[in-house]
Amino acid sequence: MRFFLSVLAGLGLVCALAPACSPAKNDPPLNNGVNDVHKACDIRATWTRTGAIQCTNCIAAAPLPDCKCEAFMGFAALCVAQGDARKADPQCTGALDDCVVACAKDCNCIEGCYATAPSCKQHDAAKDGCVADVCAQYCQ
C-alpha cells in the first residue's frame, strides 16, 4: 500500500510539472515564417529562382517527410509539421489545390480560393510561410 501511495504521489508531481514545461498558449507557432497565405505569395513573387533546381527541390521537399536524399539536404522536412497538418485537414481538397494552381502568381486570386476553406487557409498559411522562409536562400 505504501508503494502504491508513493507511485501516486510521484505521478501527481509529474502531472503538476508537465504544464510548466509546455509552451505558452500564446507563443507563435515555430517556423511558420510570415504565417500568411497572401504574404507568402508576395514573397514568392519576388523570387528570381536563380538556383532553379535547388529552388524547385526546396519548395517540393520542405513540407514532406525527409527521404534522406542528397539533393534535398539543407531543406528536406523543415516544414513537415505544417505539411502534415495541411494533409490532415478535410478542407484542403484537390479542388482547392486546382484553384491555387490556376491563380499562378495572382496573390489576391490565391487568397480568394480559401473563401470556403478557412481551416485549410490557416494550415496553408503556416506551410507556405515556412516554405517561403526556408526556400528564400535558394530562390531569390
Instruction: Give the chain's residues under pLDDT 70.
Output: 1-30
Residue 135 domain flag: yes
Residue 6 domain flag: no
Residue 11 domain flag: no
Residue 95 domain flag: yes
Give the pLDDT score at 50. Answer: 72
Percent of the chain exceeding pLDDT 90 equals: 73
Which of 119, 100, 102, 101 minimizes the C-alpha distance to 111? 100
Number of domains composing the chain: 1
Give the pLDDT score at 49. Answer: 79
Give the pLDDT score at 126. Answer: 97
Residue 17 domain flag: no
Furthest CA-CA distance within the chain:
71
Give the pLDDT score at 77. Answer: 95
CA angle 122, 79, 133 (to 5 degrees): 85
Give the pLDDT score at 30. Answer: 60
Give the pLDDT score at 4. Answer: 32
The DSSP annotation for 78-122 comes to TTHHHHHHHHH-TT--HHHHHHHHHHTT-HHHHHHTTTT-HHHHH
Residue 53 domain flag: yes
Side-chain-side CA neighbours of residue 47 (13 Å): 25
Residue 133, amino acid: D
Residue 88 domain flag: yes
Dump pLDDT digits (tens) for 23-37: 344 444 468 999 999
Residue 1 domain flag: no
Domain residues for the domain of 126 are 29-139
Give the pLDDT score at 28. Answer: 44
